[in-house]
């Protein structure tokens, strides 16, 4: 599994025009069963994506490069990989 920590590189006024495309990107990967959860951080200086173990790190890096935030140079990504040794049983299929 992975935790993806996005940090905005531009002011929110420059982020907002790209939100619809970013959310469509997220939706695509929810449908594929790759993303588990996502949302903005508080304070709103970026966001977080929780990614299941269905992709390798190189695959995830390639996928994140397609995010409109990355393509437009308005966010940076810090990926932390971890092994979920404990989890809610309902999440077993996603891990």
**pLDDT tens digits for 39-81?**
999 999 999 999 998 899 999 999 999 999 999 999 999 999 9
Domain count, the chain: 1
93 lies in a domain? no
**Percent of the chain clearing pLDDT 70 (strictly above):** 100
65 lies in a domain? yes
Instruction: Give dist(CA 76, CA 5) in Å, integer.
Output: 8
Token pair 């490069």 is at which residue? Answer: 65
This prediction's pTM: 0.93
The one-character DSSP state at 36 is E
**Coil vs helix vs strand at 27:** helix
Evaluate if residue 95 carries a pLDDT over 80.
Answer: no
91 lies in a domain? no
Bridge partners of 7, per DSSP, are: 46, 76
- Give the domain extent around 66: 15-45+56-76
> Which alpha helices (H) appear in the chain, and where do they start and end?
12-15, 19-31, 57-64, 68-71
89 lies in a domain? no
pLDDT tens readout for residues 9-50: 999 999 999 999 999 999 999 999 999 999 999 999 999 999
């Amino acid at each position: 599994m992975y935790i993806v920590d996005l940090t905005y590189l531009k002011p929110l006024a420059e982020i907002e025009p790209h939100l619809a495309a970013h959310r469509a990107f997220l939706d695509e990967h929810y449908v594929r069963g790759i993303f588990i959860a996502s949302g903005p951080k508080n304070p709103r200086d970026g966001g977080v994506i929780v990614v299941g173990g269905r992709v390798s790190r190189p695959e995830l890096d390639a996928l994140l490069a397609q995010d409109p935030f990355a393509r437009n140079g308005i966010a940076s990504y810090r990926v932390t990989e971890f092994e979920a040794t404990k989890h809610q049983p309902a999440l077993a299929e996603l891990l």
